[in-house]
Structure formats: structure tokens, C-alpha cells
Amino acid sequence: MRTRVIITVSGTLAIVLGATILSHAVSAQTSSPAQTSSPDGVAKPPVYDPYPPGILPSDLNSELARVVREVDFIEGRALAQWKALTPPVLTGQPPTLQGTGTAAIEALGELMNYDRNISPFRDIACASCHMPYVAFSGPIPSVNLTMVAYPGTVHFRAGKRTAQRYPYAPFFPVLQYNQVQGAFFGGNFWDSRATGYLLRNPDGEQAQHPPVDTQEMGNPDTACIAFKLQKASYRSLIEEIWGRGTLDIDFPAVTEKICALPGGAFGTNNTPVPLGPEERTRANQVYDHWAQALDAYEQSVQVSAFSSKFDAFLEGAYTLTAQEKAGYDLFRGKANCNSCHLDGRSTAPTPPPPEGTAPNSQDTGAAAATEPLFTCFGSANLGVPLNPRDAFYYQNKPDFFGFTANPYGFGYRDLGLGTFLRSGFGAAPSPNATWTQFAPVSDGQMQTSSARNVAMAPKQCPTTEAPGPYFQKEFFHNGYIKSLKQLVHFYNTRDVYKFNVTSGHCPPGKTEKVDCWPMPEVENNLDKTVGNLQLTDQEEDQIVVFLQTLTDGFTRPYSNSDTFTGACMQGGSAKTQGNEFLIPTPPLPPCTSAVCGVPPLPTMPIP
Amino acid sequence: MSALHTKPAIAAAVLASLLFSSSGAAQQVNAYAAKAKVEPPAEKAPRVQIARGPELESADENSATIRWTSNNPGGSDEHFGVVHYGTSPNELNQTAKSHIRLNQNHPDTTFRVSVERLAPRTTYYYTVDSMQASGASDKVKSAVGKFTTPGPGERVMNFPQPK
């Protein structure tokens, strides 16, 4: 599939269409009052705003500008570090970049990660949705509080899920269906759609999606990334690593114009850049190098640092406080978090039945039996309610380029892994048809993220929890949960405070997320390991304290965590954090057949 | 890298391992990467016995959750609790199952199963079992229990959040 065949007729049509749209875009910009420009003065199309009032946060533009400044600052720092690096020496058989080869490819990945020139309007880098001071999750508190998904290069198209953290994503294996477990393990993304089937590296394949995701960096063609890397300030580093000639692709003159337009501007044509088969192959190879370099950065000690209090504890260099220890015992005992978020220790300190699973204080765990990555690489449906604030639901009208992200509006349901296995709407094509049969038993499942760094926040506002000063994060795939206290309370009481309502409609006298949990977005395959853990309020707090020991940067500084220049939030309670932004879920139309009507059908109908 | 069982090859392997261990500290992260894999299934318990329950955790007019704790059955981590139920103790002809994930490090396992589409103010009888991902039963023996769903708008909660 790497050698894509260009069909001459459709390719020509695409160029004509692209050129037409381009001239349309330019002429429209001269008359539209809504036009904006990127930080470099790049002309931009009119703002796409299909949103009802209140969905987009009021400080969105200033916050996006802040993140651009921070991204540029880190890019500048990375350039200086690269230039200070002793060049590696290519030697040996097989040839190896001896000495600083590892540092070189990690530096390249970092330079790519913070390079916003890769996006058509030069306003979005990978890092724009993944900043280091929050462990490479979403960097804008108001977005985390409201629209959930981050704006892409076209303002304001947006995706549909929260930005997953980078750290430890490189450690996920290639997606496999485990016959014994009857379940999938591995891959990257919430729906595991970056399988690693070709590069044998799910994290690398993950890095190939956002640059051409219509609602993210938004390039119309993967070849555009190779085209832009030809002009990158770090081009010589690419050639140093992969050899001279790596970037020698003969792009036609029209490429510049095509790659300055977003995906969706060329209809369903995914290869509007007119390249012959050989040039296309070389562009694809460059895109694989893009994947490898970003994976190298994400696996480096700058990102996957293993530098938390918990790592120090494993080495015997830190003694957990009484609260941290109590939280840890609950995490792997009564609360059973480590049935999926594996901590790598061998024995949990729990007495046998009939006393149940209450923790005692004796730690009988030996050294790590599995890697302490705090994930099992699997997926589960935790029954998170539909979040009506998710920007995706509102993008049901065409934008300036005729692109509609979600024609189904609130008829969309996020079936996660199940939709990917069907190659369904909003996912990606599955490379393995033998997996499709497992879609009905995978509906609603989302990847079990590493619990590491879930609590990371900038130094100025060093907690995720109100009253703070705190940094507002968002949790789970649709950002419904706004604090770790709520997250633990959800696992603990989902089935205790269950109400057959949607978000925003809890009965009078009940407080959503405190003593009322709306119904799951997807009931199918609901995981019942959790939902009524019998934890007290104090025990929930102790687990939050333990989660905070998983934050990197304790044994040594976390790279670039000093770059946050925004404002902290203050006041309120972690229990109800963000509740003032709850909105009533509208009456939901049935799940669109584009999602729920694709065979093999869900085991029970999804309303 | 096909194995060549010659002395020079073995010597080279020894040398390589020495070189690797001498640079072990610098390779800390990559050592984790090399080992990243999915855990194998646990050893199956010879006999799975219920230590507590089964009993009604909660119910509303058209659904219920049945809960019990057994010794850890082992086998595949991906596991299912199973409830056979019906309105007569002699006709437990309906089945509900719910997914849970075993904790290999726990001596016991709590199963919780959602039973849906029930009628209000109706008494149901049930037995429970559990099974591996393959469908193989853990062969749990449980007595026939019963519960009654409440009326519309009512809710029974036998396992509230502890204070």
C-alpha cells in the first residue's frame, strides 16, 4: 500500500479542483471580515464556526497564540541543542551512526514535533495538542473544560477525542488479537487504529495520522510532509541520518499550492500531489522516517522518562508517605486498578476471603514482574457518558472547503475499537479483515492508557485538582471527567449513582458526578470490574495522592516542563470541578447507520 | 541472525553481552522496551468456590446487578461473570454475562453481572457461574437465589458507597 497508484484522470481533476478552490480561497479572503492570519502572516480562510454560543471558549484565540509562542520557544531550544550535538560517525557493518546516532534521531523527532510549518496554515505542530508541561496532553485549560477536542489548522475544525499523552506510548506492542484472552492488545490511539502492522511500530504509525487528519494538522496528502521537510531548517539532520538524496524528490510546482490547502479541499482524493510512482514511493519512505524519528523522541528519556516518585520508590530511593502508600495499596488491592493498569509488582497486600479485599499495610511485592508501565495494553468500555460539549457533534455543516467533519451530528456514537475493526466512520481502514468479526465484542472499548503522568501539571499550578491553584485537564476519551477525584469516584460509584439520564439531566437534588452518573454512551461490553468498588471518600483521595506519585520529573527535571506561560485556575472543589460548564444533552437521534449499521452489527442495538 | 553454533559465534555473543551490560545504565529505557509484552494467562485454579454471595447488589424497575466473590479462578485475565435467570426456580432459561478482568495478584475475584430488560415488581430466580474468554466454564456451584425488582422510579441499593 506504500506505492500508491496515481490514476491520471482523477489526479488531473484533483489539481484542477485544488487550483479552483485555491483561487476561490484567495478571493474570498479579500472580502471576508472573518478572515484571520497565522502568526507568520499566512493567509487563512474564513473561520469555520458551526458552534452554538458557548461551545468554543472565549479565550480560544489568545490561548492558541500562547501555545504557538511556547511551541516556537521549544523549537528554538531544540535547534540550539541539535547544533551543539557532536555529529555521529557512520561506521561499521551494518553501518551505524556511532556515538550520537541515538541523540541525533531523538533530536530530529523533537524538531519535527515542534515544527508548525508542517501544517498547511503553518499554525499547528504536533505539540500544539501535546505539550510537555502536561505530559504531552492538551495544553489549553479552557479547551479541556469545554470543547474537548483541539482546533486543527483550519480554525475551528476539531477532532472528537482528547489528546492522548505521548509518554510510554512507544512501549505498546503491535496490535494483536490474543486468542487465549479473546481480546486485543497493543496499538496506539484510543481506538488502537495505529496498529503497527507495517512499520511494526504502533507509535510511529500513530505519528503518521495527525499530519493528514482533516481536523488536526490537516495536510491533504502525506507527500506534503516530505515536501515541507525538504525546506525544513533541520533538513541536513534528516540527510545525516538517512543519507544524502533522502529528500531528493522532484515535486511539481503545483505542490506548493496544494500543500498550502487543508485536507477535505480535494474531495475524496487522498493523493492530490501529482507524483509518479517512483517519486510517490520516495515520499512515502520519507513519511516513514517521520514516523521513526517522532517515535524515537517519544521513547527518549525526555518524554518517557521513568523519573517519577514511584520509580524512585522502586529503586529504594524514596519512601512513600502514609497517604501515598495507602493509595498504592488500594490501587493494587481493594480498588483493583492494577487489574488493567499493571504496576509490575508481584503481590498485592490483600488478605484472603471472607474478609474481602481490604488492604493491610504489609507490602509483600517483590521486584517488578512485568514492566511498570501501568497499562495492560488492552481496551475496555468503562461506560463514560456522552459528553455533549464535544466539538465533533456540531461540525455537521460544510466549511469553506466543502468539508463536513461529522454529517451525522448527534447521531454519531463513539464505538472506539469496534468502529475501527469495521473500518468505520471516524476511524481508519483496518489492515486485518480477520479482525472484523470481533467488532461486536469490542464496541465501546477504548485503550487503557498508562496511568503514568495522568497527574502532571505545570510548576506554577502543580495539581490537576481544585481548589488549586490548578491546571484544568480532561480525562478519558471524551474529556467528560475533569479531575482525578472525579475519575476515581467514577470508577468507584458508576453503578451506585446510576441514573437513566444523559449528561445535564440529573434529577433535582442530585449533583452530576457526585451522586448522579448519567448512562453510558455505549452499554455494550460494559466493563464490570469497576463501577462499585466500595471505596470511601477518603480512600478515593488516597488513590489520587498515589496517582500523583506517577508524575515524571521527580528524580530529575522533566524536559521542557518549564514552558507553560498561561494562567492557573483557583477555587471550587475537585468533586464538582468544571460542573458549571455542564450543558444539557439535546434529545439524541438514533445512532447513525454509518456507525451502528455497519456489519457485523453490535450485539445489542445502540440507542 | 540465524544461529551459527560455532565457537567464534559463541565468543562473539559473550562479548556482546558483556558490552551490553557495561552500557546497561544508559539503556535503562530501552531495556523496558525490549520486554514490553502482554502477560500470559495465570494458572487455572483447581476448584473455583464462592466465598461470598451471590446476592443482589442493586436493582431498579428493569435491571439488576448480581454480585459474588470467589477465589481467583485463574486462566484468561479477560473473564465473564454469568447469571442464569428466570421467573421460576425451575426455568432459569435466560442468561446474562458481564466482562471483568482478573487481577492475577489477587487471591479472590469479585464478579458483577448486569441483568437487563427485566419487568418491574417481579421476582427472579438465578444461579451464577463464570467463564474464561474462550467460553470455558469455571464450574462454579451456586445455590438458586432470588431477587425482586422494585416499582417504577424506585431503586434498591444493597452496596452503597461506604462512609
Confidence of residue A344 (pLDDT cuts 50, 70, 90): confident
- DSSP class per residue in A366-380: -S-SS---S--S-EE
The predicted structure's pLDDT at residue B2: 37
Could you give the residue ranges of the DSSP H alpha helices within A403-520?
Answer: 417-421, 484-493
The predicted structure's pLDDT at residue A19: 43
Are residues A303 and A496 in contact, defined by beta-carbon separation less than 8 angstroms? no
Question: What does pLDDT average to over chain A?
Answer: 91
The predicted structure's pLDDT at residue A37: 56
Instruction: Check if A354 contacts B (Cβ < 8 Å).
Output: yes
SS (H, E, C) A506-531: CCCCCCECCCEECCCCCCCCEECCCC
Task: Look up cell 476511524; give the residue.
Answer: A427
- From first CA to last CA, the distance across chain A in angstroms is 37
Chain A residues closer than 8 Å to B57 by CB? 495, 532
Rounded alpha-carbon distances, angstroms, from residue A541 to A474, A495, A496, A578, A600: 18, 19, 18, 18, 42
Query: What's the CA gap between B157 and A483, in Å, rounded?
Result: 26
Query: Which residue would you say has higher pLDDT here, B3 or A186?
Result: A186
Are residues B67 and B51 in contact, defined by beta-carbon separation less than 8 angstroms? no
Query: Looking at this protein, which amino acid is placed at residue A469?
Result: P
Confidence of residue B35 (pLDDT cuts 50, 70, 90): very low
The predicted structure's pLDDT at residue B105: 84
Least confident of A179-193, A398-412, B8-22, B86-100: B8-22
Mutation to test the B interface, candidates A528, A530, A533, most B Cβ within 10 Å:
A528
CB contact under 8 A, A534 and B33: no
Residues in chain A: 607
ipTM for this prediction? 0.87
Q: Which of B50, B48, B37, B38 lies closest to B74, judged by CA?
A: B48
**Closest approach of chain A CAs to the CA of B10, in angstroms?**
19
**Does residue B29 lie in a domain region?**
no
* pLDDT surpasses 90 at A462: yes
Q: Which of A329, A308, A358, A326 lies closest to A542, judged by CA?
A: A326
- Count Cα atoms within 13 angstroms, Cβ side, for A416: 34
Task: Look up cell 438465578; give the residue.
Answer: B126
* pLDDT surpasses 70 at A361: no
Which of A183, A333, A492 has the CB atom closest to B78's CB atom?
A183
CB contact under 8 A, A528 and B81: yes
Grid cell listed for B93:
432459561
* Mean pLDDT value of segment A581-602: 98
* Mean pLDDT value of segment A30-43: 51
* pLDDT surpasses 60 at A13: no
Task: Tally Cβ neighbours within 10 Å of residue A225.
Answer: 23
* Mean pLDDT value of segment A464-489: 98
Query: What's the CA gap between A430 and A428, in Å, rounded?
Result: 6
* Mean pLDDT value of segment B67-81: 95
* Residues facing B100 on adjacent strands: B79
**Closest approach of chain B CAs to the CA of A496, in angstroms?**
6
Instruction: Check if B26 contacts A (Cβ < 8 Å).
Output: no
Least confident of A301-315, A322-336, A550-564, B19-33: B19-33
The predicted structure's pLDDT at residue A199: 98
Grid cell listed for A315:
529503586
A-B contacts at Cβ under 8 angstroms = 147
* pLDDT surpasses 60 at A161: yes
**Closest approach of chain A CAs to the CA of B89, in angstroms?**
26
Instruction: Check if A358 contacts B (Cβ < 8 Å).
Output: no
SS (H, E, C) chain B: CCCCCCHHHHHHHHHHHHHHHHCCHHHHHHHHHHHCCCCCCECCCCCCCEEEEEEEEEEECCEEEEEEEEECCCECCEEEEEEEEECECCECCEEEEEEEECCCCCCEEEEEEEECCCCCCCEEEEEEEEEECCCCECCCCCCCEEEECCCCCCEEECCCCCC
Query: What's the CA gap between A309 and A300, in Å, rounded?
Result: 19
- Per-residue model confidence as pLDDT tens digits over B8-30: 444 444 444 433 333 333 334 43
- Per-residue model confidence as pLDDT tens digits over A542-573: 999 999 999 999 999 999 999 999 999 999 99
* pLDDT surpasses 70 at A439: yes
What pTM was computed for the model? 0.90
Minimal-distance CA residue of chain B relative to A183: B78
Mutation to test the A interface, candidates B38, B112, B130, most A Cβ within 10 Å:
B38
Confidence of residue B37 (pLDDT cuts 50, 70, 90): low
Instruction: Check if A360 contacts B (Cβ < 8 Å).
Output: no
Query: What's the CA gap between A553 and B112, in Å, rounded?
Result: 39
Instruction: Check if A98 contacts B (Cβ < 8 Å).
Output: no
Which of B100, B108, B132 has the CB atom closest to A352's CB atom?
B108
Instruction: Check if B52 contacts A (Cβ < 8 Å).
Output: yes
Are residues A186 and A174 in contact, defined by beta-carbon separation less than 8 angstroms? yes
Map out the domains of chain A as residue ranges: 8-129+207-299
* pLDDT surpasses 70 at A153: yes
**Closest approach of chain B CAs to the CA of A174, in angstroms?**
10
Query: What's the CA gap between A505 and A583, in Å, rounded?
Result: 9
Are residues A218 and A129 in contact, defined by beta-carbon separation less than 8 angstroms? no
DSSP A498: B
Are residues A571 and A468 in contact, defined by beta-carbon separation less than 8 angstroms? yes
**Does residue B91 lie in a domain region?**
yes
Question: What are the start-end ranges of the E strands in A369-409?
Answer: 379-380
The predicted structure's pLDDT at residue B141: 87
Nearest-10 Cα torsion for B106, B107, B108, B109 = 30
Grid cell listed for A510:
442530585
Confidence of residue A353 (pLDDT cuts 50, 70, 90): very low
Chain B residues closer than 8 Å to A356 by CB? 52, 69, 108
Instruction: Check if B76 contacts A (Cβ < 8 Å).
Output: yes
**Does residue B7 lie in a domain region?**
no
Q: Which of A450, A448, A451, A449 lies closest to A546, judged by CA?
A: A451
Task: Look up cell 468507584; give the residue.
Answer: A492
Which of A182, A301, A534 has the CB atom closest to B78's CB atom?
A182
Confidence of residue A14 (pLDDT cuts 50, 70, 90): very low
Mutation to test the A interface, candidates B106, B116, B118, B157, most A Cβ within 10 Å:
B106
Which of A182, A357, A498 has the CB atom closest to B133's CB atom?
A182
Grid cell listed for A369:
514482574
Query: What's the CA gap between A422 and B20, in Å, rounded?
Result: 44
Residues 122-141 of B with CB under 8 A from A: 132-134
Query: What's the CA gap between A522 and A606, in Å, rounded?
Result: 7
Confidence of residue B104 (pLDDT cuts 50, 70, 90): confident
In sequence order, the 6+-apart residues with CB closer than 8 A to the CB of B103 are A332, A336, A338, A339, A348, B72, B109
Instruction: Check if A435 contacts B (Cβ < 8 Å).
Output: no
Query: Looking at this protein, which amino acid is placed at residue A156?
Result: F
**Ramachandran area for residue A200 (φ above 0: left; ψ -120 to 50: alpha; else beta):** left
Query: What's the CA gap between B137 and A288, in Å, rounded?
Result: 46
**Does residue B8 lie in a domain region?**
no
User: Sign of the C-alpha dihedral, residues A347, A350, A356, A359?
Assistant: negative
The predicted structure's pLDDT at residue A34: 41
Instruction: Check if A172 contacts B (Cβ < 8 Å).
Output: yes
The predicted structure's pLDDT at residue B42: 79
* pLDDT surpasses 60 at A84: yes
Mutation to test the A interface, candidates B1, B19, B29, B163, most A Cβ within 10 Å:
B29
Q: Which of A526, A46, A145, A549 lies closest to A307, judged by CA?
A: A549
Chain CA centroid to CA A59, Å: 22
Instruction: Check if A332 contacts B (Cβ < 8 Å).
Output: yes
User: Sign of the C-alpha dihedral, residues A47, A51, A53, A55?
Assistant: negative
Residue B114 lies in domain: 50-157
Task: Tally Cβ neighbours within 10 Å of residue A500.
Answer: 11
Which of A373, A496, A528 has the CB atom closest to B157's CB atom?
A496
Strand bridging mode B63-71 / B108-115? antiparallel
Are residues A130 and A140 in contact, defined by beta-carbon separation less than 8 angstroms? no
Instruction: Check if A364 contacts B (Cβ < 8 Å).
Output: no
Which of B28, B41, B99 has the CB atom closest to A180's CB atom?
B41
**Closest approach of chain B CAs to the CA of A576, in angstroms?**
18
Are residues A276 and A11 in contact, defined by beta-carbon separation less than 8 angstroms? no
- Per-residue model confidence as pLDDT tens digits over A187-233: 999 999 999 999 999 999 999 999 999 999 999 999 999 999 999 99
Which of B40, B105, B163 has the CB atom closest to A347's CB atom?
B105
Chain A residues closer than 8 Å to B106 by CB? 333, 336, 339, 348, 350, 357
Are residues B104 and B39 in contact, defined by beta-carbon separation less than 8 angstroms? yes
Residue B132: give its domain's CATH number: 2.60.40.10
Instruction: Check if A379 contacts B (Cβ < 8 Å).
Output: no
The predicted structure's pLDDT at residue B21: 39
CB contact under 8 A, A537 and B100: no
* CA geometry: angle A433, A435, A437, nearest 5 deg: 100
Grid cell listed for B83:
447469571
Mutation to test the A interface, candidates B50, B101, B140, most A Cβ within 10 Å:
B101
* Residues facing A188 on adjacent strands: A194
Give percent of chain A with pLDDT exceeding 70: 89
Task: Specify the DSSP element, H or E, that contains A90.
Answer: strand A89-91
Could you give the residue ranges of the DSSP H alpha helices within A300-410?
Answer: 309-314, 322-332
The predicted structure's pLDDT at residue A10: 40
Q: How many domains does chain B have?
A: 1
* Residues facing A37 on adjacent strands: A43
Are residues A74 and A127 in contact, defined by beta-carbon separation less than 8 angstroms? yes
Query: Which residue would you say has higher pLDDT here, B39 or B114?
Result: B114
Instruction: Check if B91 contacts A (Cβ < 8 Å).
Output: no
CB contact under 8 A, A306 and B29: yes
CB contact under 8 A, B105 and A173: no
